[in-house]
A and B are shown apart, each in its own frame.
Chain A
Amino acid sequence: MNIDKRLVRKDSLEKLFDILKQNSKTIYAPFSKNGKTSFMDAKSFAGISTGHIQTSESSKDIAFPRAEKILDYSKNKEGMSVKGIDFADIPEVVLWGVRPCDAIGIGELSSIFNWDYKDEIYNNRLSKVTVFGFSCNKSDEYCFCTSVGGNPGNTAGSDILFTRMGEDGDYLAEIITEKGLTVVSLAQNLFEKSETLEREKFLAEVPVRFNHEEIRKKLDKFFESKEWIEESLRCLGCGACAYVCPTCACFDIQDEAHGKKGSRVRCWDSCGFSHFTVHTSGHNPRGVQSARWRQRIMHKFSYMPERLSVYGCTGCGRCSRACPVDMNILEHLISIQEVTV
């Protein structure tokens, strides 16, 4: 599909929001609280955050919730009845205000859930989501989308990408997919045709900091490097980086029982936790934090490209922002690039 470019007046956004609401869409949009910005179920347009560089959490929750039921069971006299989730119950969602580095992450997440077995729970959730990307007009020292193949105005992953043309300006809307077009059709008049649409000059500048292909090649011979131990000594082994990451997909499966009935729940997990890989015997294949930190980097920059043909990193920089001990992935990647193996 060719990308169709339209003008959306700055005061039309709220109208668009209301129209979507009238069409019983659930809208997830960024809101700020405690100095952090997160996606929440937006009841009204007011309060939607626009000034943030990046949300604290990624938007992956929408298709890969932090905790979701995968089945219900109940025991009865006759035996057992088990019910999967009804995909029809999944609401139609508009994901509003997603940055390009999150939007592209959806594709990376999708490769994990579809590289071999197709995860229909994930796919169904995703199929109900329309992504409203918002280009970045500013960036910070953590951003490195351009180093991993993205850019502040990247259309990949978005159904519609909005770029604000100047501070307090109107928006350029790029309608990228059929899904996007369907939404546009609900509010045709808000998407005006215009000749004076420009975007590049309004986009943030994010310098390229490393070459990800080179990193990948280096990592092939980097497994035994002492670098991992030195770089990860201060890592405390929490899951903050994984949980804010748009592409981390490790999960756990847990049962929650209440007498005769209960549910099986899929919930996020992190390769950074020391118990993640531990066997019941007590043996732990990744027994030290350096092995777990290495796993995180290798998985994103070596294993995923090799097995799934995508990189597991969008350069959003969230993990570095979230890390309580300043484990900065960009810094480490640059140092890997600089080290001679």
Chain B
Amino acid sequence: MSKIGVFVCHCGENISATVDCAKVAETAGNYDGVAFSVDYKYMCSDPGQNLIKSAIKEKGLTGVVVASCSPRMHEPTFRKACAEAGLNPFMCEMANLREHCSWVHEKGEATTEKAIDLVRILVEKVKYNHSLNEIKVPVTKTALVIGGGIAGIQASLDIANTGHKVILIEKDPSIGGHMSQLSETFPTLDCSQCILTPRMVEVAQHPNITLYTYAELESLEGFIGNFKAKIRRKSKSIDEKLCTGCGQCTTKCPVKKIPSEFNEGLGKRTAIYVPFPQAVPNKPVIDRINCTYYIKGKCKVCEIVCPTKAIRFDQEDQIMEVEVGAIVIATGFTVKQPDFFPEYGYGKYPDVITGLQFERLASASGPTLGEIRRPSDDKVPEKIVFLACAGSRDPAKGIPYCSKICCMYIAKHAMLYQHKVHGGKSYVFYMDIRAGGKQYEEFVRRAIEDDGVNYVRGRVSRIYEKNGKLIVNGVDTLLNAMPVEIEADMVVLATAGIANEGAEELAQKLHISYDPYKFFAEAHPKLKPVETNTAGIFLAGACQAPRDIPESVAMASGAAVKVAGLFSQDELTREPIIAVVNRQAPPVYSSCVGCFLCVSACPYQAIEKEEIKNRNGELIKLIAKVNPGLCQGCGTCVAFCRTKSIDIQGYTHEQMYTEVMALLNEY
């Protein structure tokens, strides 16, 4: 028994100038189920809203159609008014007479006719509206940050500083990430470690941050505000509580020749090790693959020397479950190994190195203590060649996109070289110089103009060794493609930044999407750069695309604000415009047949499988179920479902069908 009120607004003269509002109201008043119909100068004004409220109360209206401006403008206003009068706000619909009718058509019968049609379709729709309640989701006010590089550190600190708990997990034994490997940072050339280390310590000491290093995400369930994460804490083979980080074990460990990951293979480490001196936590882990005890079953030197008896050879991986309300992914990136360019001789010639290796050479904490010496013979290179775009912007062999950071770090490298090796000669082969960013262009110009780095626009075709020199064959496209040959002592390849190995699996665990390069996908390229498609999961830093430090930090702070915003509420309120899979009484249970095509169609991974069991607990069928926490209400699944088993509240089958029917028929 519908009792619908129709409220036609003149909007001053905005509508009434071209639409006969009185006639619209009169016609609507004659429709079945319309109990009250009126036109008024300004419906959104207080008296206008009161008109609606009193009609709801006096006439006992079951539905309201406000025919005025765009619902994008005033739908919240009128729904609120309805709610205040005791009518479920979702029983109110708006006919857009202003933007879609009076403002775009001339005065005349046809325009009034259209206005009448627009009102009629919503009158008929409202008959099929249902009272809906906003969805309340509780929020667990703890964030999980995955990845302890600069982005993860920044996000953790920002969230922690808003007073919320953070769990930070890092797969390596120490936080710090790639930034801790860098020597100096562009465009200011301040020492990377110097600015990063205090942040790392802050993380370790922050009362709101729980740090788990050597830990990875095992699985994730749940939805915004209510995630359950399983974390695998890989065995460090030490008792962290007892370990004081004295370093006895690492000094005494007999296995000393393991290439150091931190030093990109340019230095060595022991089997029980701390990755770098400033590591946080500064406690060692045993690398079981290289440890003699784990290989041969004997050694235990570390156990013997440990003054606190902290070594635990039988320690196992621990799986712990944590409940979190939001997740920030800051897993960073990796660099593509340049061996896909055999003509550059990486791996064959020890003095052809990557940019990241150069960072270690230039770093004061690196294997050469900051002196630029070539790996083969420790000599200071007199001539050095830098190759930009070693893999980037190369759809044929590398990756099609621009890695973005290389132009800047190459300029930095060349500059550092010139500063450290006086009289040295440096060359940079480049395609274009991309130095968009505050002070970036100036930085590159400084390298060229002040420090005399030779920039050659062109590509290198081949590098080979001749008489202890690396012969670099290239062309200079600015000089009519003239061939260039440089006898270099060392070559540095600016290898492409790519997604981490395993990024795809992580995305699948998190139910977020990723782009063709396996970088995680943001929810909207412009307006939601730190959100993912999965509500409550945010991105920071280079896991989304190659990013430099300032960008990573900015993104991290952005993500942190999103988390803080989420945590500022005790409950999340969501519009109930979500999809629902029907449920029926036994023996049918649901008309869903469980083909789960909707699962692949859903942009939000909001559709789950539900087991339907009979009274004896036997599985009868598997059907789809929409997780109301994840569903955003796009309705893609609805149009898909062959059995019409999914419907979307607010835009149901009946509502949309009725709108079409009402539009084209006389009522």
Contact = CB atoms under 8 A, between A and B. Distances in A.
Nearest to B124: A259
Nearest to B666: A259
A282 B588 contact: yes
A281 B587 CA distance: 9
A75 B31 CA distance: 11
A33 interface: no
Contacts of A283: 587
B665 A260 contact: yes
A201 interface: no
Among A77, A258, A259, A283, find the residue whose CB has the most chain B CB atoms closer than 10 A.
A259
B667 interface: yes
Interface string A236-259: 000000000000000000000111
B255 interface: no
B124 to A, nearest CB: 10
B617 interface: no
Contacts of B586: 282
A77 B585 CA distance: 40
A287 to B, nearest CB: 8
B201 interface: no
Nearest to A281: B585
Contact of B667 (A77, A260, A281): A260
B665 A282 contact: no
A75 to B, nearest CB: 8
A260 B585 contact: no
B116 to A, nearest CB: 14
A282 B661 CA distance: 29
Contacts of B665: 258-260
A257 B585 CA distance: 29
A96 to B, nearest CB: 41
B588 to A, nearest CB: 4
A258 B664 CA distance: 9
A282 B662 CA distance: 31
Nearest to B667: A259
Nearest to A283: B587
B616 interface: no
B587 A282 contact: yes
What is the predominant secondary structure among interface residues of chain A facing chain B? loop
A283 B586 CA distance: 9
A125 B586 CA distance: 44
Nearest to A284: B587
B666 A282 contact: no
Nearest to B30: A77
Contacts of A282: 584-588
A208 B161 CA distance: 96
Contact of B661 (A75, A77, A259): A259
Contacts of B664: 259
Contacts of B30: 77
Interface string A274-296: 00000001110000000000000
A117 B32 CA distance: 37
B141 to A, nearest CB: 44
Interface in B643-667: 661-662, 664-667
B587 to A, nearest CB: 6
A75 B588 CA distance: 37
Contacts of A281: 585
B125 to A, nearest CB: 15
Nearest to A260: B666
B635 to A, nearest CB: 25
A77 B30 CA distance: 9
Nearest to B588: A282
Contacts of A77: 30
A118 B30 CA distance: 41
Nearest to B662: A259
Among A77, A257, A282, find the residue whose CB has the most chain B CB atoms closer than 10 A.
A282
A291 B666 CA distance: 45
A282 B585 CA distance: 8
Interface string A59-70: 000000000000
A134 B30 CA distance: 60
Contacts of A257: 661
A283 B584 CA distance: 12
Contacts of A75: 32
Contacts of A260: 665-667
A274 to B, nearest CB: 12
Contacts of B666: 259-260
Contacts of B661: 257-259
Interface string A125-136: 000000000000
A311 to B, nearest CB: 35
A257 B32 CA distance: 15
Interface in A63-84: 75, 77
A75 B33 CA distance: 14
A114 to B, nearest CB: 38
A260 B667 CA distance: 5
3 tightest A-B CB contacts, nearest first: A259-B665, A282-B588, A259-B666
14 contacts: A77-B30, A258-B661, A259-B661, A259-B662, A259-B665, A259-B666, A259-B667, A260-B665, A260-B666, A281-B585, A282-B584, A282-B585, A282-B586, A282-B588
Given A259-B661, A283-B587, 17 more contacts: A75-B32, A257-B661, A258-B661, A258-B665, A259-B662, A259-B665, A259-B666, A259-B667, A260-B665, A260-B666, A260-B667, A281-B585, A282-B584, A282-B585, A282-B586, A282-B587, A282-B588
Interface of A: 75, 77, 257-260, 281-283
